Amino acid sequence: MTLTKQKQIQIVVNCTQCGSPFKAPEGSHSFKCPFCSKVLLITSPQRILKFYMNTRLNHRSVKFVTERYCKRSGIDLPRSFDDSRLIYIPFWRFNGMIYQLRAEAVTYTFSDGATLETEKKVKVDSKPFDINFPGVNQDLVNQIIMGIRSQVMELHPQLPPKLDKDADIIKPEITLDAAREMAYSNAFGVYRRKNVCYEELIGEKLTLIYFPVWISRFTNKTGAQWLLLDGVSKRGLACGQDEFRGFHSNGDFDGVGSIKILPHHCPNCGADLPAGKNAIVYTCQNCWLGWYLDGDRLRQIEIDYVDPGGDKNLKFFPFWEFGASFNSRGSILTYHQAQMLFRSKLSVFVDDSEDAIFRFFVPGFSARNPRSLWKLSSRLTQSQPKFTTSQRLRFSSVPATLPEDEAAQMARAIWFYLIFGTATNSFQSWNENSEVPEVNFHPGKLIYLPMKEEGIYLREQFTGFAVQKRGIF
């Protein structure tokens, strides 16, 4: 199991109109073909996707690389080449963001040795993770994974047409469920810290990546030899005598699909939708309906724009807004109930005279520093702002990139944050048994809130709360 820093990964796609291949950064959902300007949408018919890495070797160049390897390693040069085989080895990749709530007390030590422990406070940590592990339990594979780490990854949804007949695709021995389990326990294990009272993976994604290796078989004066080559970097990985017995099994793997590229137009009126890289919500500029990319289809979604009043100097940021039920009684969480559950964590300025529905707010946009998103989310939720909204956007806006289900996971983390934050003294009991009421979020709606740039800050216009701009852009 290896942990890598998140790096830029490119997906290589083919335009459905002109057929040209081009690269899109991982996480892109819509874009314009640079060759014919067709607007395209990347959809995911299945939750777990598979990709192939391209090999830079072919049967001819394998011979050359084999000779070079023999020279450098002091192995007798080949007298004859027997054959070369292209093999695709499966790897699982698991990436996303981990959020942890930790209860921490600070201990002061006085000059006479006496100590004083402060009341526990809930702190939030967030870290990206990116884990690769082999899909087969074979010794050689562990050497290959080093190769994966050192390379710029270019992922292809399909095998190159010239190679699809030629390649042996090794079926993962580690099944989908086992891979998922390993991924989860490792993601949590990597950031094992003390005093964690709640943790949540957000935006976690499991991907099957097929990595190309070549087996070059040749004969030299000592007899039959084989050499295993990294198909991307062309490095030699391992060699041995006699028959190669490294990999076997053949076939494909169920439950894993490939991305599909479709024309990107409004399902209602047919107009092209705006291309927005990693945006997953699109507003049709012709009929003004809002569309949400849900797996392999666009589903209509309610979008509200908050009326900012007279100020024109604003940028609009998307937030998911959720109502919730708790304790599986199906009772809708009202502001009044929230105040009893969260007590001191809510803003005192909120008018609780009416039995209004308590709303959770989660930023739907990407930010450089997840902490900024967390601050905005908890602050807005604690403040329960009231807005007047309209159905059309008249100002520039930031793309919505966070899927609804992930936003709901974040809302759940906020729920625990508010509850733990209130229960600072009886913290251990919250932690050790599951007294925390279970919460269920209702379908979300998207709301665009105005923010204003003020020097190094970006100020949310309803709570007046500001985050540093560099945390966002």
- Where on the chain is the footprint of Zn ion (CB under 5 A)? 15, 17-18, 33, 35-36, 38, 266, 268-269, 271, 284, 286-287
Please identify, using beta-carbon distances, which residue of 201 and 261 lies nearer to Zn ion. Answer: 261
Contact 155, 12 (CB under 8 A): yes
Helix, strand or coil for residue 133? strand
Please identify, using beta-carbon distances, which residue of 81 and 288 lies nearer to Zn ion. Answer: 288
Six-digit token pair at 473? 């852009």
Question: 24 forms bridges with which residues in the sheet?
Answer: 11
Q: Which of 293, 258, 256 is nearest to 273 (CA)?
A: 293
Helix, strand or coil for residue 263? strand
Min separation Cβ 11 and Zn ion, Å: 15
Min separation Cβ 39 and Zn ion, Å: 10
Please identify, using beta-carbon distances, which residue of 35 and 473 lies nearer to Zn ion. Answer: 35
Helix, strand or coil for residue 89? strand
Please identify, using beta-carbon distances, which residue of 17 and 440 lies nearer to Zn ion. Answer: 17
Location of structure tokens 């990347």: 42
Please identify, using beta-carbon distances, which residue of 57 and 266 lies nearer to Zn ion. Answer: 266
Six-digit token pair at 191? 């950031």
Min separation Cβ 402 and Zn ion, Å: 23
Please identify, using beta-carbon distances, which residue of 128 and 263 lies nearer to Zn ion. Answer: 263
Min separation Cβ 38 and Zn ion, Å: 5
Please identify, using beta-carbon distances, which residue of 15 and 49 lies nearer to Zn ion. Answer: 15
Strands 121-134 and 2-3: antiparallel
Q: Which of 122, 118, 119, 116 is nearest to 103 (CA)?
A: 122
Please identify, using beta-carbon distances, which residue of 264 and 345 lies nearer to Zn ion. Answer: 264
In our burial notation (b when 16+ CB lie closer than 10 A, e otherwise), range 392-406 reads eeeeebbbbbbbbeb
Cα–Cα distance, 292 to 283 (Å, whole number): 9
Please identify, using beta-carbon distances, which residue of 36 and 178 lies nearer to Zn ion. Answer: 36
Q: Which of 369, 96, 62 is nearest to 231 (CA)?
A: 62
Helix, strand or coil for residue 75? coil
Min separation Cβ 205 and Zn ion, Å: 27
Contact 362, 414 (CB under 8 A): yes
Location of structure tokens 């314009």: 32
Please identify, using beta-carbon distances, which residue of 280 and 346 lies nearer to Zn ion. Answer: 280
Min separation Cβ 36 and Zn ion, Å: 3
Six-digit token pair at 172? 């993962």
Within 51-95, residue ranges assigned H as helices are 59-73
Cα–Cα distance, 223 to 242 (Å, whole number): 7
Min separation Cβ 33 and Zn ion, Å: 3
DSSP string, 202-236: EEEEEEEEEEEEEEEEEEETTEEEEEEEETTT--E
Min separation Cβ 404 and Zn ion, Å: 21
Min separation Cβ 287 and Zn ion, Å: 3
Min separation Cβ 264 and Zn ion, Å: 12
